[in-house]
Amino acid sequence: MDRNEILNTVNNVFIDVLDDDNLVLSEATTANDVEEWDSLNHIQLVVAIERQFKIRFASQEILSWQNVGEMVDSIAEKLNQ
């Protein structure tokens, strides 16, 4: 799965969890850019992404992402292991 495919899949998870069909993510998107991306939804997103990609994040990773691109980095790293 290449980065674009990962980003598209992540975008779909965000749409489902945040209940916003118009949401378009880029690698530079941060929580500041998305109104509904708060601390509770962050957790919902993390677990929904884990389920979608059948991966498991470490606690430190969950807190470290500065933007969607870094989230994609973590996913790509796990898928390539």
Partner 1 sequence: MEHPVNYIYNKIAELNPMHGKKLKKNIAFFDDRYYELADTFFEKYTGILKAQNKNLDYAIDCYLQLIADVNAETIEFLRSGKYSSTTFEEVNQRVYARPEIMEYYMHGLIMSQFLWKHHYQIVDFFISKLPSYKGETKNYLEIGAGHGFYLSKALEILDDKTCFTVVDISETSIALAKDFIKDDRVEFNLQNIYDYNSDKKFDFITLGEVLEHVENPLQLLAKVNDLLSEDGVLFLTTPTNAPAIDHIYLFESADFIRDVIHVAGFKIEKEVDLLTEDVSPERAAKLKIATLYGAFVKKDKAAYL
Dmax over Cα atoms in the chain, in whole Å? 33
Residues 6+ apart with CB under 8 A from 46: 57, 62
Q: Which stretch binds partner 1 (CB under 8 A): 1-9, 20-28, 30-38, 69-77?
A: 30-38
Q: Which stretch binds partner 1 (CB under 8 A): 2-10, 21-29, 44-52, 69-77?
A: 44-52
x/- map, 3-22, partner 1, by CB under 8 A: --------------x-x---
Picking from 80, 75, 77, 72, the residue whose alpha carbon sits closest to that of residue 51 is 75
Which residues are at the interface with partner 1 (CB under 8 A)?
17, 19, 31-32, 37-40, 42-44, 46-47, 50, 56, 59, 62
